[in-house]
Chain A
Amino acid sequence: MNRFLWPLLGFLVLVGFLAFGLTLKPSEVPSPFIDKPAPGFTLPQLAAPEKTFSPEEMKGQVWLLNIWASWCYACLQEHPVITDLARSVPIVGLNYKDKRDEAVAWLERFGNGYIVSASDTDGRIGINYGVYGVPETFVIDKAGFIRYKHIGPVDEKTARDTLLPLIRELSR
């Protein structure tokens, strides 16, 4: 074979990769917690700070952990979807780096579908879960293992096509 064809061949391989690369999402960080136990914690409840919440309490159920904050615009966008989802599956809110009264006011104003919200005022628990932006949503199974992480606001399509089927499967 003509050895001068090598540059062209190499180039075609490169173009192949680049073309495939157009279909990927480079800025999404996959979670290393998939199929691993959800990190434990004990945090005060948002509504009643003298009481606490711990993920242990949810063992035996399939549930969602939704990271939200009153200062987060995208959380407001997904809130109707989340509230709707809450009819099919228990959702626990993790109020991330927020002020208690502002968070409570936000829930009063826009509706509260969460069975409970835990206050993570300094964001430590968020870090433990690998949270790097708000909102994020984790699907946790009956044994307390994280099965799926959704980054960004949950839209109806994701809720319908990804989350609900997964929840149904895990509930069997």
Chain B
Amino acid sequence: MKRWWLILLCAVIAAPVWAADRAAEERMLNIASELRCLVCQNESIAASRADLAVDLRQQIREQIRGGQTDQEIRAYMVDRYGDFILYRPPLQATTILLWFGPLLLLVFGLLVLTLTLRHRMRSMTDRLLSDEERKRAEALLKPNNIPD
């Protein structure tokens, strides 16, 4: 009986650690999934099995425990490996075209679309047939009629 209480107590005390660990682990994976593994180069540090990735994941864990913010951890990585390690390209002078490009393309596309359609409407006018023309058309369409 006594032991049962003890176990429960331990579980209660340990639970925040497990929960905190789980949250920290999730945070680590979130950060690591946006970092490129430099060894295989086509996996994230979260996914890669390479030694360096395992080491860097451990680094991130320790930094999280040490109270660093996500921003600080990313800066740590960039200081050592350059912008190349970030899968999310930072917004800076060289990447403005990258980040705003799609939006600009969309605006440009819609502009071209509107202008083309308007140009089209203007240059194509359907004339309605006049009465005389309609009679001529009907006459032509009747069988046994030889046009002039």
Flag whether A123 is at the interface (Cβ < 8 A): yes
A130 to B81, CA, bound (A): 5
> Secondary structure of the A side of the interface?
loop
Proximity string of chain A (106-124) to chain B, C-beta cutoff 8 Å, 1 when within and 0 when not:
0000000000000000110
Proximity string of chain A (78-119) to chain B, C-beta cutoff 8 Å, 1 when within and 0 when not:
000000000000000000010000000000000000000000
A97 to B56, CA, bound (A): 14
Say whether B55 contacts A31, CB under 8 Å. Answer: no
Flag whether A145 is at the interface (Cβ < 8 A): no
Say whether B41 contacts A32, CB under 8 Å. Answer: no
Please judge, given known A-B contacts A29-B38, A133-B39, whether A97 and B51 are in contact too, CB under 8 Å. yes
Flag whether B87 is at the interface (Cβ < 8 A): no
Say whether A132 contacts B82, CB under 8 Å. Answer: no
Flag whether A128 is at the interface (Cβ < 8 A): yes
Please give, as numbers and ranges, the residues of chain B lying within 8 Å of A33 by CB-CB distance: 80
Smallest CB gap from B59: residue in A: A127
A128 to B85, CA, bound (A): 14
Flag whether B140 is at the interface (Cβ < 8 A): no
How many residues of B sit at the interface, in one of the four size bands? 10 to 19
A127 to B39, CA, bound (A): 13
A129 to B38, CA, bound (A): 14
A20 to B55, CA, bound (A): 36
How many residues of A sit at the interface, in one of the four size bands? 10 to 19
Say whether A29 contacts B39, CB under 8 Å. Answer: no
> Secondary structure of the B side of the interface?
helix
Flag whether B133 is at the interface (Cβ < 8 A): no
Smallest CB gap from A31: residue in B: B82
Say whether A127 contacts B38, CB under 8 Å. Answer: no
Please give, as numbers and ranges, the residues of chain B lying within 8 Å of A2 by CB-CB distance: none
Say whether B52 contacts A132, CB under 8 Å. Answer: yes
Flag whether A37 is at the interface (Cβ < 8 A): no
Flag whether A165 is at the interface (Cβ < 8 A): no
A30 to B78, CA, bound (A): 12
Interface residues of B (CB under 8 A from A): 38-39, 41, 51-52, 55-56, 59, 78-82, 84-85
A–B pairs, 26, beta carbons within 8 Å: A27-B41, A29-B38, A29-B81, A29-B82, A29-B84, A29-B85, A30-B82, A30-B84, A31-B82, A32-B79, A32-B81, A33-B80, A97-B51, A122-B55, A123-B51, A123-B52, A127-B59, A127-B80, A128-B80, A129-B80, A130-B81, A132-B38, A132-B39, A132-B52, A133-B39, A133-B52
Q: What 6 A-B pairs have minimum CB-CB distances, sorted nearest first?
A: A132-B38, A130-B80, A32-B82, A130-B81, A29-B84, A123-B55
With A30-B84, A132-B38 known, 10 other A-B pairs at CB within 8 A are A29-B81, A29-B82, A123-B51, A123-B55, A127-B56, A127-B59, A127-B80, A130-B82, A132-B52, A133-B38
